[in-house]
A and B are shown apart, each in its own frame.
Chain A
Amino acid sequence: MSAAVGAGGNSVLRHARHVVAENPVTGFALGLFVFFVLAAILGPSLAPYDPLASNTANALQPPSAAHWFGTDQIGRDIFSRVLVATRLDLGIAAASVALVLAAGGFAGLAAGFFGGWVDMVVGRIADTIMAFPLFVLAMAIVAALGNTVPNIVLATAIINFPLYVRVARAETVQRREAGFVDAARIAGHRDMGVLLGQVAPNILPIMVVQMSLTMGYAILNAAGLSFIGLGVRAPTPEWGIMVAEGASFIVSGEWWVALFPGATLMVAVFCFNLLGDGVRDIVDPRRRT
């Protein structure tokens, strides 16, 4: 009884273990996710070389025991650079996803719950964003506001905004008439209380799945902006720039300069997409036994 009110932490863990045990793909994705998070946290201290230290005498060396991923055109260790870049790439993606979850999620909730003019205003904003090719819109935002990390985060969040609004709104509309909404009013909750305390926890699982899926997209978007020169600037280690810099060497046979950051980027995106399904199984209480 003491743990009864607001309980359930323990059973979530137990359930998560059950889901992972049952679905090896989720386990694999989860393993990759942990690996990336550790790389993001510990990367700089684990990197064998200074990611910015150039050594022109050692430029464009293929992978070897000393340089696992080889070296780039000015002799920097690619493995160290890929490792250190994890924090920046994942950080940008995570920040933008958190931002859009808060803004888009709330806007969608309010639109679905209140309807009327709130719905109309939110809907028009989302439609306006949707009217642009999203990557071009992101480019325009960064170009207009300046090439800084916060602006990349903002641009990535903005282009994901309509998606979050739509999902949150659709899920809210479904639950607006649910019995528990009336029950909450009877229990003394006002509109905001019902919205945030009752409806929001119910759409959170769907939003978390959405986050996992858009996380991959956000990484790709941030790297893409850097790739075309509108994102993080050289010489900062970042996967997109590294692919861009390495691209010109592929023709001359130095494939490793672009391949390793590119492959890492791909695996990261893949990991978050796979994770989406597993996360849905974990956060949905109805699947808990």
Chain B
Amino acid sequence: MTGQIGNAPRDFAADPLLDVAELSKRFPLARRGWLGGRAPAMVHAVDDVSFTLGRGETLGLVGESGCGKSTLVRLIARLTDPTSGSIRFNARELAALPARDFARDADRARIQIVFQDAGESINPRFTAADAIADPLRKLRGLRGAALQAKVAEAATLCGLPLELLDRFPHQLSGGQRARVGIARAIAPRPDLLVLDEPTAALDVSVQVTILQLLVTLRETLGISYVFVSHDLNVVRLLCDRVVVMYLGRIVEVGPARAVFDNPLHPYTRGLIAAVPRLDGLRAGGLRLAGDPKSPIDPDPHACRFHGRCPVGTDRCGTEMPALRRFPGSRQAACHFATEPA
């Protein structure tokens, strides 16, 4: 078990597993009438997002609710079609494949998700074994004894006692359900596992065991993780790098430890300052008051954080800051971000 903070910096960029470039997703606010009419207002859920994920790397995805994390996850997992941009997975372009046909794609097995609420994401009519067997049957074409063996293997890897396998989700504890959710996702042996708030519904004592399990699986199976969480302390424990999102756009990217210890973007600073700490220390006492702006047809020339930002000036209202590079493989989208001291 390795549990170093933020992990040692490794060069993941050389051989990216996932390369997302200029990815955008816009939803029309209302369906167009029978006769067409004016173009409807658009919700900019994900806007011009680019990042890479190395093999074996764990990338954290943080931000407030409504920042586009969930949509980005659905785009990466190919459950939703992007409006524009590219998603290269193992050097293959996936963005153009319609989501509804991706279920039968060869790469379906290689990108799997562990869902937020394991209780809700397991069909209540299926036993734990059925849930784990489902992707193996559909994606790996396994049947009979071979299927049973793989189900048992995945369950064992996830520390799930085999005698629990014929239970229904409501007969399992929260931690056991989380293990079923993870076993189901790793069963078809994906290269990329998206973890969508996998421990949000769990008590801390159980959360520890699940996080340790995820680290073990990462090492034994060599999977890359995209780890979505609102709990920055948990992200810090598991991730090599973090991506901070605000209103659909990336505001900061960098090695987890550097970002948490020395955030460049004012939003990241506010986010980190707001995390309650056991030692009771208030880091700077920076408060982000108010709510994010509306994601409906936002001003393309204004920083999304403008208005809520404690350091912004008029320039931020007229000029959208680009994601700039900083030393230490860091990036931040702020006119006023300076090199870390």
Contact = CB atoms under 8 A, between A and B. Distances in A.
Interface of A: 1-8, 178-180, 182-191, 193, 198, 201-202, 285-286, 288
28 contacts: A2-B148, A4-B148, A4-B162, A5-B127, A5-B133, A7-B129, A178-B121, A179-B117, A179-B120, A180-B123, A182-B115, A182-B121, A183-B115, A183-B123, A183-B184, A184-B134, A186-B108, A187-B138, A187-B139, A187-B184, A187-B188, A188-B104, A188-B109, A188-B135, A189-B134, A202-B123, A202-B125, A286-B124
Nearest to A3: B166
7 A-B pairs with least C-beta separation: A179-B121, A188-B138, A187-B135, A4-B129, A179-B120, A180-B123, A188-B139
A168 B112 CA distance: 30
B265 to A, nearest CB: 31
A179 B116 CA distance: 8
Interface string B142-154: 0000011001100
Given A8-B127, A202-B124, A188 B108 contact: yes
Contacts of B74: 182
Contacts of A188: 103-104, 108-109, 135, 138-139
B134 A4 contact: no
A201 B122 CA distance: 13
A5 B130 contact: yes
Given A182-B79, A183-B123, 12 more contacts: A7-B129, A183-B115, A183-B122, A187-B184, A188-B103, A188-B139, A189-B138, A190-B100, A198-B123, A202-B124, A286-B168, A286-B170
Contact of A186 (B77, B129, B171): B77
Contact of B130 (A1, A2, A6): A6
Interface residues of B, number: 43
Query: Most chain-A CB neighbours within 10 Å: which of B74, B122, B127?
Result: B127
A285 B126 CA distance: 10
Contacts of A193: 103, 138
A4 B127 contact: yes
Contacts of A285: 124-125, 168, 170
A189 B103 contact: yes
A5 B131 CA distance: 9
Contacts of B165: 1, 4
Given A183-B184, A185-B79, A201-B125, A1 B162 contact: yes
Contact of B100 (A1, A182, A191, A286): A191
Interface of B: 74, 77, 79, 100-101, 103-104, 108-109, 111-113, 115-117, 120-125, 127, 129-131, 133-135, 138-139, 147-148, 151-152, 162, 165-166, 168, 170-171, 184-185, 188
Nearest to B111: A186
B4 to A, nearest CB: 31
A7 B185 CA distance: 21
Nearest to B101: A190
Contacts of B125: 201-202, 285
B115 A179 contact: yes
Given A1-B152, A180-B122, A202-B125, A8 B166 contact: yes
A189 B133 CA distance: 13
A192 to B, nearest CB: 10
A183 B130 CA distance: 13
A4 to B, nearest CB: 4
A204 B166 CA distance: 21
A243 B105 CA distance: 63
Contacts of B171: 288
Contacts of A185: 79, 103
B2 to A, nearest CB: 28
Nearest to B77: A186
B151 A5 contact: yes
Contacts of A202: 123-125
B113 A183 contact: yes
A182 B76 CA distance: 13
B124 A186 contact: no
